[in-house]
Chain A
Amino acid sequence: MENTFHVPTVAELMAKGQTPDLLFWVGCAGSFDERAQRITKDICKILNHVGLNYAILGTEESCTGDPAKRAGNEFLFQMQAMMNIEILNGYEIKKIVTACPHCFNTLKNEYPELGGTFEVIHHTQLIQDLIDQGKLRPDDGHVFKGKKITYHDPCYLGRANEVYEAPRKVLESLDAQLSELKRCRSNGLCCGAGGAQMFKEPEPGNKDVNIERIEDVIESKAEIVAAACPFCMTMLSDGVKIKEKEQEIQVLDIAEITARANKL
């Protein structure tokens, strides 16, 4: 897919003597993972569509350090954090939207003690806010009308930060048939990728966590399972593939659903 608009970097804006109102923190998955890149682009489409003065850090962005911290490498985490904070403070960034709940959690909760205090929101919160403001409105006759949609709570958005409503509100705006998974909200089951598990093989067991989770999705009879995290996206998509349900179940990020519903 080709971008019909330019995604500005903070450095570019600064060169023009401008500063962004909102920094879009893309995250490593959103930058490098092909599937997650599509979500990143949809978030940019939304930001562009509503005319927000936003920018990305581009090549100046670096991992927040979340996987290092969860894997016990506090040194590496703090190195990453302090380098990022220096850049963010240097650009006088005040407000950040993230595409990934792990970046969201780390920037929001773990950076302040290291000198980086920002207003941090997740993209589902931004989208909900834009819907509330009337800036985003599902197009008449959009593809999700009447579709059976369920939502998988990412641990780092849900339990970790108690953001349960924003993604649901976004889905409620669609006029679709919404259902909950049997393990949802604070009782939601992890996709299996958190705590640096994304980067290693699981310990011996009798099942992979994403299979356990995709069985919940299959049981819900949903045609679309909405995700809000690039790692959940990978794990759920793999689960759908392994269960050979690609024809029946689509895994889509809340941002992708919003972009499509608004025909962006």
Chain B
Amino acid sequence: MISQLIFFILFAVAIVFFARNAKKIYRNIKLGRATQRTDNPGERFRIMAMVALGQQKMFKKPLAAILHVFVYVGFCIINIEMLEIVIDGLFGTHRVLSVMGSFYDFLIYAFEWLALAVLVSCVIFFIRRNVLHIYRFGGRELLKWPRTDANIILITEILLMAAFLTMNAADGKLQQLGADGYHTAGAFPVSQYLVGLLPDNINGLVMVERFCWWFHIIGVLLFLNYLPLSKHLHIILAFPNTYFSNLTPKGKLNNIESVTAEVKAMLDPSLPPPSGEVTRFGVKDVQDLTWKNLLDAYTCTECGRCTASCPANITGKLLSPRKIMMDTRDRVTEVGKQIDQKGSFEDDGKSLLDTYITREEIWACISCNACVEQCPVNINPLEIIIGLRQYAVMEESQAPSSINGMFSNLENNGAPWKYAQADRANWANQ
């Protein structure tokens, strides 16, 4: 009875904390400007099914994709086991779902193999990340906390799976010994090999089994609350993020309507000048981004496929599309914290441009869409980069001098080079 009460309290506290942090993230995402991403739901569901559920874009790198599928499928399916743990915890039952009979045995049989697959995959991931020199796991943005974050996730998953298998091993042995409360249920194709490592007396086995049970459930509840602080949030946000994907060709940049109104008035003086509040052109800080850009930032799991495909990055430039996303998340989190403390955001002398992302980074972009193409969860770093450029150019007139030269050629000659418009068709007569 006491253990049920403890379980209930732990479970409730974990859910409440998670809900609180999830609400904060939702609020932070809503700090972004509006953008239309709800049209054509059929196509959106299709993209979500292919890209998030079906992991389609992961398969651009087959080895990582297969290992990731093990972890992903393992995670999803082993959550059925979590359901049993929660029911057992709340009602003091033991392996309550075993009423399903042989189907239950099949499930546990499958879980065991999946748990092993997850464990092995995570060990390989850990080695890839920490021992092998894989380009996308390097980079200056992946030092310190982001590196620790990745390793915490992998180690936690390894420990959770180890606890799950050890629990099953102890349970299986207790079943064989006919221990009180441990009725015959489940099949243990993997954990049977761990039995030799366990104590022989029933008390010892019960202790191991209970310890692993509590370790597993507390671990999962802690992990749940770790998600909002971590890059691992992608396991949830990948779904909405792909649903709200951009449906237009990648080459199309958004039209800025406030500019359209002004340009129309400039070209045709008979039109009234645009009225209404003057909005900032481009992006200086996270509030100037769209909510989808911010959702992108929270969804990013820092895999670095974008950066490893970025022509600027791989030729040694400062730009890293992954860092653009990480900076955006860090900044919106900082702004959110200020709102938590003061009730509203006041200028703190910082901004996404300059404090987080430098001019050198944004001007190194070639707008080739490689990062957008590679992202397994349809994040778009390019939109943010162009937004920052728009602020630099339209609000500050701060472009590299050769770019300013190109602008003035365009204005004067209708071409980015210094050639006269009148000479434009000379080639046809040569």
Contact = CB atoms under 8 A, between A and B. Distances in A.
Interface of A: 2-3, 7, 9, 26, 28, 30-32, 37, 40-41, 44, 56, 58-59, 61-63, 65, 67-76, 78-80, 82-83, 105, 108-110, 113-114, 155-156, 159-162, 186-190, 192-209, 211-213
A56 B389 contact: no
22 contacts: A28-B416, A28-B417, A32-B415, A32-B424, A59-B422, A68-B410, A69-B253, A71-B393, A71-B399, A71-B407, A74-B256, A74-B259, A75-B259, A78-B256, A79-B267, A105-B249, A114-B260, A196-B367, A201-B402, A203-B363, A206-B316, A209-B311
B262 A75 contact: yes
A42 to B, nearest CB: 12
A205 B428 contact: no
B410 A67 contact: yes
Contacts of A159: 250-251, 368-370, 372-373
Interface residues of B, number: 70
Q: Nearest 4 A-B pairs (CB), nearest first? A: A160-B251, A195-B367, A72-B389, A206-B316
Given A76-B411, A105-B252, A31 B262 contact: no
A9 B411 CA distance: 23
Contacts of A186: 373
The winner among A44, A196, A200, A201 for most chain B CB atoms within 10 A is: A196
A80 B366 CA distance: 21
A113 B252 CA distance: 11
Interface in B370-400: 370, 372-374, 386, 388-394, 399-400
Contacts of B389: 70-72
B315 A208 contact: yes
Nearest to A83: B267
The B interface, classified by DSSP as helix, strand, loop or mixed, is helix
A80 B406 CA distance: 14
Interface of B: 60, 248-253, 255-256, 259-260, 262-264, 266-267, 281-282, 309, 311-312, 314-319, 360, 363-370, 372-374, 386, 388-394, 399-400, 402-403, 405-407, 410-411, 414-417, 419, 421-425, 427-430
A80 B410 contact: yes
B253 to A, nearest CB: 6
A203 B312 contact: yes
A37 B372 CA distance: 32
Contacts of A40: 427
Nearest to B258: A74
A192 B386 CA distance: 17
A159 to B, nearest CB: 4
Contacts of A196: 367, 403, 406
Contacts of A156: 251
Contacts of A162: 249
B263 A75 contact: yes
A19 B383 CA distance: 39
Contacts, number: 217
Contacts of B316: 204-207
A172 B282 CA distance: 44
A238 to B, nearest CB: 14
B403 A59 contact: no
Contact of B366 (A58, A74, A195): A195
B424 A31 contact: yes
A187 B417 contact: no
Given A62-B415, A196-B403, A203 B267 contact: no
A209 B402 contact: no
Nearest to A59: B424
Given A32-B415, A68-B407, A189-B311, 5 more contacts: A65-B410, A75-B263, A109-B248, A113-B255, A203-B363
B14 to A, nearest CB: 41
A109 B422 contact: no
Contacts of B429: 3
Contact of B394 (A67, A74, A105): A74
Nearest to A33: B417
A200 B400 contact: yes
B315 A206 contact: yes
A203 B317 contact: yes
B60 A192 contact: no
Given A73-B394, A206-B316, A199 B259 contact: no
Contacts of B428: 3, 7, 44, 56, 58
Contacts of B372: 159
Nearest to A69: B253
A72 B393 contact: yes
A198 B430 CA distance: 26
A72 B394 contact: yes
Contacts of A209: 311-312, 315, 366
Given A65-B410, A71-B407, A74-B256, A82 B263 contact: yes
Contacts of B282: 72
Contacts of A193: 366
Contact of A28 (B60, B267, B403, B415): B415
Given A31-B424, A199-B416, A155 B252 contact: no
B348 to A, nearest CB: 25
B399 A212 contact: no
A202 B400 contact: no
A111 to B, nearest CB: 10
